[in-house]
Structure 1
Amino acid sequence: MSSYDSGLTRLYTDFRGHELWYFIISYIGVLILQDSYFYFTHRLFHHPLLFQKLHQGHHQSRHPTPWTSFAFDPLEAVVQSLFFIVIVYLIPLHFITLIAVLITMTIWAVVNHLGLDRLPLSFPHHWLGKWFIGPAHHSLHHLKYQVHYGLYFTFWDNILGTQDPNYERKIRE
């Protein structure tokens, strides 16, 4: 019998279990939690003692392509998947919400690995876009390993000083 069948997870399928606002809040909340988890594990993967074992394969592409978004070292994939294994035991989530997060993560990763030459450098850097990671932001991470560790948002990079200090100027040029 699975953890779901035993009622150990917080996953549910009945739409009557929560109001519509909960689906929206839980989706956004999981994205924020995943971004935080990703930021700190990703930054840890760049530590010199761990980089070669956990993350070097992803950085084989100095100029990322959409395929780069699927290039994970096996241990890195395990560590990143732990987030979802834990989250389904902690937060009540409808299966559709979980699927929506997984689809968002996949599309976001592919878009962010399009590289600098696939979209305008200024994309998506309007007032709202400065809070989100886009291809230009993540491409700099592949060129300069010590900056831009986030997955969806620039929050942790800005707060913890891992935002490239020249990034704002570079995207305006």
Structure 2
Amino acid sequence: MALPILLAVVAMTLIIAVRYLAVSGAFAWATARRMPGVYARQRRQIGREIYWSLLSAGIYGLPAGVVAWGWQHRGWTLIYARLGDYPLAWYPLSIVAFLLAHDAWFYWTHRLMHRPALFRIAHAVHHASRPPTAWAAMSFHPWEALTGAVVIPALVFVVPIHISALGVVLAIMTVMGVTNHMGWEIFPRRFVEGRGGRFVITASHHQRHHSDYRCNYGLYFRFWDRLCGTDRGLGVFHDDPRRGSADGKP
């Protein structure tokens, strides 16, 4: 039993690592095309971001591999493969449920990571990216990576979800993690400063967190920040006036 589980862990680690390299690499390429040379002075920082991110991939791969093996061989989870097992309306609702639960977990663990002791021990690794790049999305100290690695594997034990819907959740998690760190705004100004941007977190909102630290802790949605009084609005991309649509309005 130990060898199949180990192989599942290795496979999931490789999948997560390749996914990170592919998505971060694609958006880093898009950044270079849009703003040539913008990361030129951050090569050493990018090297550190890739190092910590690949280390995080191994930590994410451990629970993911164990749970994947348990689902396939022991039926441990509530992941289902036949659409008819649950009402079709549950398919989009399950995606929303996972995103809401993940967002809540991230907000409170992220806020906890900003306590002075935990910040020094773990979260300072992520904030060493000044400013963050497209490679920084998984640049975590192992202790912080562990808090992020357990949430999705835990949710599949309590919330039913189709295997393809789980893929949608992971795709959203990956893309938003990268785009919120790449140093410019991918969404149009009318979205960021309009109704959509009042609820959905984009790079402009997360940029404020990386500049002011004690605010804007959310992952996908702004309502936890608004509810808890930690939302300080949009940030501004200081290095290049062409960067995105954020204009620094609080």
Choose the corresponding residue for 1:33, options 94, 101, 109: 101
Q: In the alignment, which residue of structure 1 is the partner of 2:70?
A: 3
Residues 201 and 218 in structure 2, CA contact (< 8 A), matched pair in contact too: yes
Q: In the alignment, which residue of structure 2 is the partner of 1:47?
A: 115
Q: Structure 2 CA distance, aligned partners of 1:129 and 1:142?
A: 18
- Which ranges in structure 1 are unaligned for 5 or more consecutive residues? none
Q: Which moved more, 1:37-46 or 1:90-99?
A: 90-99
Residues 15/81 of structure 1: CA separation in 2 closer, same or farther (3 Å cut): same
Q: Which has the larger radius of gyration?
A: 2
Q: Structure 2 CA distance, aligned partners of 1:166 and 1:67?
A: 22
Q: Structure 2 CA distance, aligned partners of 1:166 and 1:27?
A: 27
Larger relative contact order (CA 8 Å, sep ≥ 6): 1
The 5-angstrom pairing of residues 1-173 of structure 1 reads 2-4=69-71, 5-116=73-184, 124-164=192-232, 171-172=248-249
Residues 39 and 150 in structure 1, CA contact (< 8 A), matched pair in contact too: yes
Residue 89 of structure 2: SS of its match in structure 1? helix
TM-superposed CA distance for 1:130, in Å, is 1.0
Aligned length: 172
TM-score normalized by structure 2? 0.63
Residues 205 and 233 in structure 2, CA contact (< 8 A), matched pair in contact too: no
TM-superposed CA distance for 1:80, in Å, is 0.7
Runs of 4+ in structure 1 off by over 3 angstroms are 116-123, 170-173
Q: Structure 1 CA distance, aligned partners of 2:137 and 2:227?
A: 25
Q: Structure 1 CA distance, aligned partners of 2:187 and 2:164?
A: 30
Q: Over the residues paired in the alignment, what is the CA RMSD in angstroms? A: 2.3
Q: Which has the larger helix fraction?
A: 2
Q: Structure 2 CA distance, aligned partners of 1:117 and 1:81?
A: 27
Q: Structure 1 CA distance, aligned partners of 2:185 and 2:218?
A: 21
